[in-house]
Structure 1
């Protein structure tokens, strides 16, 4: 299974009054990673139709632990958990990986994306080329974590 890895820069303005990254900013991090995945990487692989239009139909986000500002970027891993005829589900983990391999996960999330024909003003089907690109990143959603 392949995952798209995006090194997301952090900005001083991402912090809230409590000294950690604001919950809304995490959605921006997801958006930046999704754009890099579906627009930049897909176009380089010959599946550039996504850049012609797509809309978010749903977000789910689970905040695991606070993230504080620092100069180093945070990692956003992106992969596909579902491909339908006219929608796909993208999953994410926003995390750090230490040199010893231990991971700190700050957020787990998913987004339902609908390819959209901007000229026609309506959703469109996922093309075979897009499906082939997305299939390279297909995996299951991470297991839910039960907290006491």
Structure 2
């Protein structure tokens, strides 16, 4: 089952990340779990690029769910272009997508995945509306 990726999304961050030897499994390709680590790193880089810390304080952006559509196998060596984009912004949540392509063929997506991120008040462990200062950066 593939998850449908919305056409309308806003590119917010782009980075290059190397495929490491240890990312591969016994079959000689990048293990499926590693794609989620690639997306995690892209989200962390985007959050810090906005001027925020990834380590939580009293409130934080937390992942509610995640998925990945795999289109081609990846293997070492290689470098990936990770493009982070955002979809519709809800009152407390936001859909974040990460596309992955090799730098040698940037027009061919190897995978695209996403996560629903929720703003959480960590003192109550409940979702909370996005603070205005974050909404200004997201919009």
Superposition TM-score tier, normalisation by shorter sequence: 0.7 to 0.9
The match for 1:15 among 10, 24, 28 is: 24
* RMSD over aligned Cα atoms: 2.0
Instruction: Flag as ranges the 4+ runs of structure 1 deviating above 6 A.
Output: none
Structure 2 gap ranges (5+): 1-9
CA distance in 2, matches of 1:50, 1:35: 6
Match of 2:124, SS state, is: coil
**Structure 1 contact 97–104 (Cα < 8 Å) conserved:** no
The size of the alignment, in residue pairs, is: 127
The match for 2:136 among 132, 138, 145 is: 132
TM-score (norm 2): 0.81
Match of 1:17, SS state, is: coil
**Counterpart in 1 of 2:42?**
33
**Counterpart in 2 of 1:118?**
122
1:58 aligns with 2:65: yes
Match of 1:103, SS state, is: coil
Indicate the structure with greater strand content.
2
1:5 aligns with 2:11: no
**Structure 1 contact 4–79 (Cα < 8 Å) conserved:** yes
